[in-house]
A = this chain, B = another copy of it.
Amino acid sequence: MNKEVRLRLKRLRTQMERAGIDYYLISSSDFHHSEYVHEYFKARQYFSGFTGSNGTLVVGKNWAGLWTDGRYFVQAHRELEGTGITLYRMQEEGVPDIPQFLQTQMKQGQTLGFDGRTVSCREGRRLEKALEGQGISLMVGQDLAGESWQERPSLPCYPVSLLSTGLSGKGMADKLKEIRKALKAAGAEYLLLSQLDDLMWLLNIRGRDIAYCPVALCHGFVTMTQVYVFLQKEAVTDAFREYAQAEGIIWKDYHEITNFVAHYPYEGSVMLDEKSVSYSLYSLVAQRAACINRNNPTELLKAVKNETELERIRQVYLKDSVQLIRFIYWLKKKIGKEEITEVSAGSYLDRLRSEAEGFLDFSFPTICAYGENAAMMHYQADESRDCKLEAAGMLLVDSGGQYMGGTTDVTRTIVLGAVEKEIKRQFTAVVSGMLRLSHSVFLSGCTGRNLDILARLPLWELGIDYKCGTGHGIGYMLNVHEGPQNIRWRYSQEIKEEALRPGMLLSNEPGVYQEGSHGIRIENIMVVQEDKKTQDGQFLAFETLTYVPIDREAILLEELQPMDRKRLNDYHQEVYQKTAPYLAEEERKWLAEVTAPL
């Protein structure tokens, strides 16, 4: 394999020489800077052999370097062996970032090349800023990597489907009104939109171009009177054509976007989000119009779910919970009696979920991690590293689906046999934290940073932290991770925090990750709701959407405060009441036992 990588780099260097490029940068991004990308965009993997989700390759004449983050140091070190590529461990002391590195390595008169479509405006401008004034040119119009990638898969392209108002709850025309209001308030005339889930939300369409994300490759350009949509020809169905005509959408080919922004007769400022618009598109616009860099106004509007969406979501979460309950029942019954592995357990759950009414896809690859594997936050079992489940310890299962009517995400840590007392203490702390956050009441204006400590404190009291946020936003028949809201504690002066608003979905997933030993995570999804309004203001609270029992076998009763115990018992009672009608007799009997009051 690594000989192959060397040959690929050699071909790339020949192309570079021909093009007069001294250093060539290959990112991990698609043209939209999506969280998940299609194989077509995995040029960095092809030219380096490194398979992690985050990494940037820079290739020089006699040198190549790969930058990646802490999650991938071990894996990248292994995968880069024999390729001749140097590993740069991001954020480690003394390790320069790419702009810093190029600043010191490149000489006046040299040229840095990259495909400006796969580098975000933010990253591109950082490079521009670092190298400008040093006499170094950028050449961003060529996809050199693509040109010398012989076996490249083709760009994904599936027909888009339309969302009825019964599913979307709001027509595009109404959404446009709000967007144009936001544009006016910011002094902008136009919105250049590249973020795929935002485009799907605005247009009330869905696609299948990216695994787990029901999105179509697409760009959009909104003016005060028009909406231009750039979709691949094969994605456009007759139904879409009709819809577009009725709604006044002007459809153009996906690849026309470059030409379009280069020739549009701008008469005002263009709003764009430098995190999702590519450096190529930004550069073309910026030469012709003032740019207002701002979070897309679609982001906040999309995050606040409307009543129709919420009604659907509640139904979907119930169906999804029922399937997970069936899975847990099956697992508890079979463990120690039949051979089950991480992969086979995961497949069983996937099969159950895929049988649920309205199921479309999974919302991310199912995580089924046994024992110490659960200490890895994003562990993926496969044939090469599968693990047999024993009647001992715990299995962490994190999974979710895309349904007609919602996107789910849920984690349970399931007791398979004996669990040490210390681990039970941690499990109990995770449960307390999850419940305290679920039951919090807070004034309108609070952000996730105000609330995070409620979930984390019981673990901090044990000297334990989890190195991730407590919660993320979730899409509606869209990406399982979406902003702008989240529940995190760390302060950053650069990030604008958004207040939590009624209708926002959030995950609530504290956990414990002890390398080489075990992992615990319990995740429910909640929606922000209005609570009481008093003379001191409007209070908000959460409604829980997930109804799956929390394993009582790992709870130390003496560690639960009465308020937490009551909350757990109330939750379990609700789990039973809501899901029992959908369960078989034996499942129901078992559920009654595991949800009985503690």
The verdict on A266 contacting chain B, using a C-beta distance below 8 Å, is no
The verdict on A561 contacting chain B, using a C-beta distance below 8 Å, is yes
A106 CB → nearest B CB, Å: 26
Question: Is there contact, CB below 8 Å, between A464 and B499?
Answer: no
The verdict on A163 contacting chain B, using a C-beta distance below 8 Å, is no
Chain B residues within an 8 Å CB radius of A441: 457, 460-461
A163 CB → nearest B CB, Å: 34
Which of A84-92, A534-542, A569-577 lies at the interface? A534-542
Residue of B450, B464, B493, B561 touching A534 (CB-CB under 8 A): B464
Question: Is there contact, CB below 8 Å, between A445 and B490?
Answer: yes
Chain B residues within an 8 Å CB radius of A18: none
Interface size range of chain A in the complex: 35 or more
Question: Is there contact, CB below 8 Å, between A453 and B465?
Answer: no
The verdict on A230 contacting chain B, using a C-beta distance below 8 Å, is no
Question: Is there contact, CB below 8 Å, between A452 and B454?
Answer: no
A342 CB → nearest B CB, Å: 26
The verdict on A442 contacting chain B, using a C-beta distance below 8 Å, is yes
Question: Is there contact, CB below 8 Å, between B489 and A446?
Answer: yes
Complexed CA–CA distance, A446 and B457 (Å): 12
The verdict on A299 contacting chain B, using a C-beta distance below 8 Å, is no
Chain B residues within an 8 Å CB radius of A463: 532, 534, 536, 539
The verdict on A562 contacting chain B, using a C-beta distance below 8 Å, is yes
A441-B461, A461-B441 as given contacts; A489 in contact with B453, CB under 8 Å: no
Chain B residues within an 8 Å CB radius of A562: 561-562
Question: Is there contact, CB below 8 Å, between B445 and A460?
Answer: no
Question: Is there contact, CB below 8 Å, between A496 and B493?
Answer: yes
Chain B residues within an 8 Å CB radius of A278: none
Chain B residues within an 8 Å CB radius of A450: 449-450, 452-453, 489, 491
Chain B residues within an 8 Å CB radius of A457: 440-442, 454
A442-B453, A561-B563 as given contacts; A447 in contact with B491, CB under 8 Å: yes
Question: Is there contact, CB below 8 Å, between A451 and B453?
Answer: yes
Complexed CA–CA distance, A460 and B533 (Å): 11
Residues 423 to 459 of chain A near chain B (Cβ within 8 Å): 440-443, 445-447, 449-454, 457
The verdict on A497 contacting chain B, using a C-beta distance below 8 Å, is yes
Question: Is there contact, CB below 8 Å, between A465 and B443?
Answer: yes
Residues 51 to 76 of chain A near chain B (Cβ within 8 Å): none
Closest partner residue, chain B, to A497 (CB atom): B491
Residue of B449, B452, B537 touching A465 (CB-CB under 8 A): B537
A437 CB → nearest B CB, Å: 10
A331 CB → nearest B CB, Å: 30
Chain B residues within an 8 Å CB radius of A440: 453, 457, 460
Closest partner residue, chain B, to A564 (CB atom): B561
Complexed CA–CA distance, A441 and B537 (Å): 29
Question: Is there contact, CB below 8 Å, between A460 and B490?
Answer: no
Chain B residues within an 8 Å CB radius of A536: 463-465, 467
Contact with B along A538-567 (1 / 0, CB 8 A): 010000000000000000000001110000
A contact set with B: CB distance below 8 Å? 440-443, 445-447, 449-454, 457, 460-461, 463-465, 467, 489-491, 493, 496-497, 499, 532, 534, 536-537, 539, 561-563
The 7 A-B pairs of least Cβ separation, nearest first, read: A465-B536, A463-B534, A441-B460, A561-B561, A463-B532, A441-B461, A450-B489
9 chain-A/chain-B pairs, Cβ below 8 angstroms: A440-B457, A440-B460, A441-B460, A445-B490, A449-B491, A450-B453, A453-B454, A465-B537, A562-B562
